[in-house]
Amino acid sequence: MNAYQVQCDDRLAEVQWTGSAPPKADDLFQLAGLPSKGPGKPLAARIEEKLIDLSAPVEPGQIVAPVLRDDSRALEMLRHSLSHVMAEAVVRLFPGVKVAIGPAIDDGFYYDFDLPKPFTPDDLERIAEAMGKIVKESQVFKRSSLPAAEALELFKSQGEVYKAELIEDLVKAGETEVSLYQCGDFTDLCRGPHIPDTSLGVAFKLLSVAGAYWRGDEKRPMLQRIYGTAFFSDKDLKAHLHMLEEAQKRDHRRLGKDLELFSVHEEIGGGLVVWHPKGALLRSILENFERQEHLRRGYQVVMGPQILRSELWRKSGHLDYYSENMYFTEIDGQGYAIKPMNCLAHMFIYRSKLKSFRDLPLRLFELGTVQRHEKSGVLHGLTRVRQFTQDDSHIFCTPAQVAGEIADILRLISDMMAAFSFPFSLELSTRPTKSIGTDADWEMATNALKEALATIGADYEINEGDGAFYGPKIDVKLKDAIGRSWQCGTIQCDFTLPERFDLNYIDSDNERKRPVMLHRTVFGSLERFIGILIEHFAGDFPLWLTPVQAVIMTVTSRADELAVRFHSMLKKAGLRAEADLRNEKLGYKIREARLAKIPYMLVIGDKEVESSVVSVRRRGEEPKEMSLEGLVELMQKEAVAPSWD
Ligand SMILES: [Zn+2]
Ligand SMILES: [Zn+2]
């Protein structure tokens, strides 16, 4: 007889196992008295942070915890399991199809298929119907493990070349056994875990089909990716589908075109954004807002060059850990790299003069444009691009100042998020496998971040192994108007680069010491942040941010003179206005201004000319007559950018 421990909420339950074989996680949960059906039933098990199937054996000494519905990992597992169900349905309906991979993604799941004919909307309906049947059959996910060589033969004999390639890679990585999951008559190569059976997958929906290169590589075959999503309840699914509809209406790529903000051209190159006058204006308003706020909070504005010698990137570790994201060039036989980050030049500013403890903290701020290689398949509007500008800062401080500096950064982030009414949450990301620096440095840096989070009493989640290669980080995730999460700013704590670049300062005891380097952004990439803002506000920006605040429209050419005079008065008052004197119907002009989401429409006709007033239509409000002075005062009040004491 063996004693096992089951984590139930915050207590440990001890259960006795009399069987001869090791118990399954599910056996132990039942002995511990956890529900065996209904919403409280465990869907998988967890041993520390590792998720396992309910049917997986538990070794003596391991503490096993249930994974319940409300755990985000359970939802991810449900969605991934549904991708198997989808593949099973596709294999059933389309003999000869080859299957590739089927992971869960942020909002759902996909599976990639190789089929000569394109999937049609009708096909999607048939697939969903077949999936519904599989769900009804409550098929069990059965795990087995096979020697890699045998599994390779199995998939090769079925013509599953993509699975075979995946196994070959596993073998190259030293794996001798692989795990398979069978569901119905469909067997897939998969690490698992899954939900115990398909009956949980009732609330799902197939959404779309898109082309996707095998392994994201444009030199490999183009596959068909079917996207879907799944939830534990119909209610959650409905809410999500409503959100998707809303998101489509707000798509920043469409609004970007309607509002004449930006464009992207295949002829110029993927992921390279062209800012049109209104977009560039919006962007510079945002940049000025940030620059002023940083100056006010003790930062100094700096600028570094766009390319720096490769030798430096070797020294910083970027060549070893980041080179696949970088672009290289050569000048006079010397290797150079286009900067993917702004850190290096800032260290040279630090090093340019001997520092004393009195000079610290030194806060350098750069709206730094960087280039990073992204695979062409992931490029998307403004949110995934290859050239972008970061609101980047490097703070050099003493170890004792770290927690205080990070707390200040978190306050800045909190203020900036409030300026756009974004709620946000924080995540702490720890050491990744590919990283530089000593264990001691990583521990010190991670503790410094934790301490700062504790100082301001912030709640946060831990993201194991997701830090930058040179240090752990705090990620800021904001929530937009329709409930989507976006990762924006980060704060990274770095003990390694100051060491590699021999940065130091003279401390109060006259000793030479190493400063700590904090890397941080608030909005992250301005391109991405503007993309998020467009969707968050659905193009209806607050008045301080909107590129065109008012348009003056004439009803007749007799109003032209007054319109021109009013236009120049508005401009003199610091307001951004346009005048529409075209010989078009008023209704037409109003429709255009509405499409352009211009907040104030000012109409001047004969009546207004006579009394020197304007008819003012604020978006969504009834028109009213105002004097221009009254209007200027009203607009100036509304157009003030957020500020803090
Ligand atoms: Zn799987
Ligand atoms: Zn940096």
Residue-by-residue DSSP string for 473-497: EEEEEEE-TTS-EEEEEEEEEESHH
Q: Dig out the tokens for 99 from the structure.
A: 């299957």
Q: From the CA of 520, how far away is ligand 2's center (Å)? A: 7
The CATH architecture that domain 550-638 belongs to is 3-Layer(aba) Sandwich (3.40)
Q: Which of 183, 190, 343, 493 is catalytic?
A: 343
Q: Which of 519, 567, 576, 589 is catalytic?
A: 519
Cβ partners under 8 Å of residue 268, min gap 6:
274
Determine the angle formed by the axes of helices 402-419 and 439-455, rounding to 10 degrees. 50
β partners of residue 50: 47
- Give the pairing of strands 222-231 and 108-114: antiparallel
Q: Decide if 519 is catalytic.
A: yes
Ligand nearest to the CA of 366: 2
Grouping H, G, I as helix, E, B as strand and the rest as coil, residue 203 is: strand
Q: Decide if 254 is catalytic.
A: no
The CATH architecture that domain 2-68 belongs to is Roll (3.10)
Ordered by start, the domain boundaries in the chain are: 2-68, 73-249, 262-306+340-536, 550-638
Q: Decide if 197 is catalytic.
A: no
Q: Decide if 71 is catalytic.
A: no
Separation between Cα atoms, residue 154 and residue 234, nearest integer Å: 38
β partners of residue 520: 393, 491
Determine the angle formed by the axes of helices 148-157 and 161-172, rounding to 10 degrees. 160
Q: From the CA of 389, how far away is ligand 2's center (Å)? A: 13
The CATH fold of domain 73-249: Threonyl-tRNA Synthetase; Chain A, domain 2 (3.30.980)
What pLDDT score was predicted for residue 325?
95
Q: From the CA of 80, how far away is ligand 1's center (Å)? A: 6
Query: In the CATH hierarchy, which top-level class contains the domain 262-306+340-536?
Result: alpha beta
**Consecutive sets of 10 residues in the chain, 645 residues long: mean pLDDT of each?**
84 89 93 89 92 93 92 94 97 96 94 96 97 96 95 95 96 94 94 93 94 92 97 95 94 96 96 98 97 97 98 95 95 97 98 97 98 91 97 96 93 95 95 88 89 87 89 94 93 93 97 96 97 97 97 95 95 96 95 95 93 90 92 96 90
